[in-house]
Structure 1
Amino acid sequence: MRLSPALWKMSTEAVLEGVFAISKPLGMSSAQVIRDCQQYFNPSTYFKPLVEAQVDKLRNESQTSYKKRRLAKRSAQVKMGHGGTLDPLATGVLILGIGSGTKSLQSFLDCTKTYETIVLFGAATDSYDRTGRILTKRPYDHITRELVEKEMDNFRGKFEQIPPLYSALKMEGKPLYEYAREGKPIPREIIGREVEVKELELLEWFEPGTHNHRWPTAEAETAEKNLAEQVWRVEKNQANARKLTPEEAAEDDKAVTAHEAMKRQFDVRQDELVRDIPPHKRRKPSKNPALMSGALGQLPASPVPGRGSNLVQTPSADAPLPWTDKGPAAARIRMTVTSGFYVRSFCHDLGQKVGSAGLMAELSRPRQGDFSLGVNCLEYADLSKGEKEWAPKVSKLLAEWQAKHPYPVRTQPAFRTDRNQDFAKAKRPRQVSPSRSNDNGQAESSKRVKAEEQQPESVADKPTEQQSIPASGDEAPQKQAEESGGV
């Protein structure tokens, strides 16, 4: 196969590791996006040097041939991670790290993010979005744009936010949804998070009957509804700085205990978001040899369909209406928030503030940190167009990151296994036999140093077995790069 000049140049030059952003499509988990990227990146020409470098490094570090084979098999793919999950219901910027760039992903958990969401009023669900099950329905005819804009003032600046009931956030060592699943009482003091909304703007107002957003049709069970009412009452009491009275606490315990025997299995979408684990079943290896991405035409949109794909479906405009009148209003709202902010909680709480209920119908993240859609973000659809389409774009994004965050760059000649083995041997410290140490615990090498200091200059200048001999030719910079962490 003959490579194009552009791909050949990229394959022979340095491979830039770092961070870039990709536009995540609807219905896909963050972990699935990484698996899809690896399916395109692993067999590519562009990332071949990086994969070989990872394999060689692990082989040289392992002690046995069994470990070498096992590590080589596990490392034969591009090392990747993400800078914070993005809901399957959401679209937008998902930050990914490649190689050494994964070490920088932690910083993106604390950066500001911009979201756009659509709040649909009149109903609340167990997941606080349109994919959950109905917990309660409230009147909505009185909701106006002016009322919503007025109540939005409660969410500007810093405040304590209570996480959603079925989020993956743990309380007292157990996720909140486990309390509902097991029918056990939740902690009396639900720990809120201090968050900050730096910007909040109502972008678009949808009058009743002018939009296609729908409530879900599935209703929650009675036990779920009772537990949700308990959670919301605790939240309200905490917000008003009032503790539960003994009578209220006993009433809550009685209501929850009555349903403890019920064993219910919930379809927890928030849990799938964080714990997106691939199936334990091993896939059979493909009979076809690995080819360069795009060499034989377009690849499928999702090369590894699994639990992380098609988690959320686009609502159908032909679906029957869950109301008999014009239905509730909806609002598109944009916000810039700090780390730890739950957009679905904002939608739920805003519905309560306007005297009704609310859920998150849509969610998009157009910006996270320095990455923005349409500016410096790779389109997910570019992956299926082949390496000639995505490789130059990824290279450009990684080069921009490298220019702002310089660190040692891997180069093609640095991947020779024989040199790595020679340098690994050269870096091994000289072992001193315990039998050659004196009674004071000093090594025999200390005596040699003193003896050399007493020798004439002509003798001391000569290299001894204790002095390192510098590498010659092109091996000198190679060894220096290795010792500085560049290989």
Structure 2
Amino acid sequence: MPKATMPPLPLSALFGIVKPSGPTSMSVINDVKLLVSRSKLFVAADKLEKSASKKKVNLRKPGDIKIGQGGTLDPLADGVLVVGIGKGTKKLSQFLECTKEYRTTCLLGVETDTYDSEGSRVRLAPWRHVTREQVENALAKFRGEIQQTPPIFSALKMDGRPLYEYARKGIPLPRPIEARKATVYSLEITEWKDTHNFRWPAQTFSEEDKQAMEKALQGAGETAVLEDKEEIPGDDESPTAFVLKMRVSSGTYVRSIVHDLAHELGSAGHVVTLSRTRQGRFALDATEEGDQQCVPWEVLEKASTDTEVDEDGLRLWEREVLARLEVVESAQSAIDTDPNPDRCHPSPVSPRADRAG
């Protein structure tokens, strides 16, 4: 690990973590809160001592500390999740409007209700005719300022009702779903996959489900016929998949880009992997000046069994976070800016450069 400087504690801070695919962003934040609420990096020593003196301590109940995240990732997605601690939570809004980068894998031949592999199969479409050259040519249409229509199976509301409720119950939409402006600064194909282990979702739309969705869309004057044009892979054949890399503005629907691109290719497609590789200055790979690296999830996952401390009394996960965080306020800066400097404050720890553990 790189060397890190110990600032006066406790800290209010921002740092990025590498969220794994599977858990929700909320569950990840709750796990992080369990750690930081018992860390001297973020909680005053006297409060930690008071907590430790209690006869019974619920290790699964976080302490009283402010924590938040700068933009939710769905369970399927992995990658950069910006975390704010203490007064760092007030800085999180800047990450809602920042530039983001994603890496996603599109699997052709099937469209799903959620536009990703966690949804149900809505319809099948031909895919063998699609070539890499066709994809590269079609991408030009999706670069720059574009208009995107959010999927009907989304939590966006129309007249107070989530869109997915119209689709599932066959309630006609009162009007077309409003398109939204987004900017795609860069979009390229980075990998073509003739063979892979991705498979179409097993769960399928019933005829009743299809009719409900068609009825919902037709209510807004849209034509929707969910007709299968099957092109089933052979025993030793995989439907074509490819990887896209993109840099986009806030509010861009990556799944919609994949969905719409597949239509442009005369096929159907959905997302099978999705990684947020950058959110503002926090990135998986620090390639630009001012980039902040993220804390690997494996480090935080092992923290519950990591009891060894270094000469500063820090555990490995704390040292990893300290090396990557962005201080919003430390104990000393709080004293320096306090309008009532005679008020009692925790004694600051002298800053010093230390060898990482």
TM-score class, shorter-chain normalisation, is: 0.7 to 0.9
* 1:268-307 map, 5 Å: none
Per the alignment, residue 9 of structure 2 pairs with 14
Letter of the structure 2 residue corresponding to residue 94 of structure 1: L
TM, length-normalised to structure 2: 0.77
Per the alignment, residue 389 of structure 1 pairs with 316
Q: 1:478 to 1:168 in 2, by over 3 A?
A: farther
Letter of the structure 1 residue corresponding to residue 121 of structure 2: I
Per the alignment, residue 149 of structure 1 pairs with 136
CA contact 2:168–2:213 (8 Å) conserved in 1: no
* 1:213-362 map, 5 Å: 213-229=198-214, 244=221, 323-324=233-234, 326-362=237-273
Q: 1:230 to 1:346 in 2, by over 3 A?
A: farther
Mean Cα displacement is larger for which, 388-397 or 357-366? Answer: 388-397
Instruction: Determine which of 12, 15, 39 is the counterpart of 1:44.
Output: 39
Letter of the structure 1 residue corresponding to residue 342 of structure 2: Q
CA contact 1:136–1:225 (8 Å) conserved in 2: no
Deviation at 1:328, TM superposition (A): 2.0
CA distance in 2, matches of 1:93, 1:78: 22
Higher relative helix content: 1
Mean Cα displacement is larger for which, 322-331 or 114-123? Answer: 322-331
CA contact 1:81–1:102 (8 Å) conserved in 2: yes
Matched, 1:410 2:345: no
Per the alignment, residue 156 of structure 2 pairs with 169
Per the alignment, residue 477 of structure 1 pairs with 341
TM, length-normalised to structure 1: 0.57
Deviation at 1:202, TM superposition (A): 0.4
Instruction: Determine which of 87, 90, 94 is the counterpart of 2:74.
Output: 87
Instruction: Determine which of 267, 278, 295 is the counterpart of 1:367.
Output: 278
How many residue pairs end up in the alignment?
308
CA distance in 2, matches of 1:389, 1:85: 26
Deviation at 1:47, TM superposition (A): 2.9
Instruction: Determine which of 295, 302, 314 is the counterpart of 1:378.
Output: 295
CA distance in 1, matches of 2:218, 2:46: 54
CA distance in 1, matches of 2:96, 2:156: 15
Deviation at 1:153, TM superposition (A): 1.2
Per-residue Cα deviation, 1:216-247 (whole angstroms, up to 9, x for no partner):
0111122322344456778xxxxxxxx949xx
CA distance in 1, matches of 2:78, 2:221: 40
* 1:57-76 map, 5 Å: 76=63
CA contact 2:9–2:40 (8 Å) conserved in 1: no
CA distance in 2, matches of 1:162, 1:232: 13
CA distance in 2, matches of 1:100, 1:391: 19
Q: 1:185 to 1:20 in 2, by over 3 A?
A: same
CA distance in 1, matches of 2:123, 2:43: 54
Instruction: Determine which of 196, 211, 216 is the counterpart of 2:196.
Output: 211
Matched, 1:197 2:192: no
In structure 2, list runs of 5 or more residues that go unmatched: 51-60, 226-231, 287-292, 307-313, 346-357
Letter of the structure 2 residue corresponding to residue 357 of structure 1: A
Per the alignment, residue 258 of structure 1 pairs with none
SS of aligned partner of 2:315: helix
Higher relative strand content: 2
SS of aligned partner of 1:48: coil
Q: 1:348 to 1:413 in 2, by over 3 A?
A: closer
CA distance in 2, matches of 1:411, 1:338: 37
Matched, 1:34 2:29: yes
Instruction: Determine which of 110, 119, 122 is the counterpart of 1:132.
Output: 119
CA contact 2:173–2:218 (8 Å) conserved in 1: no
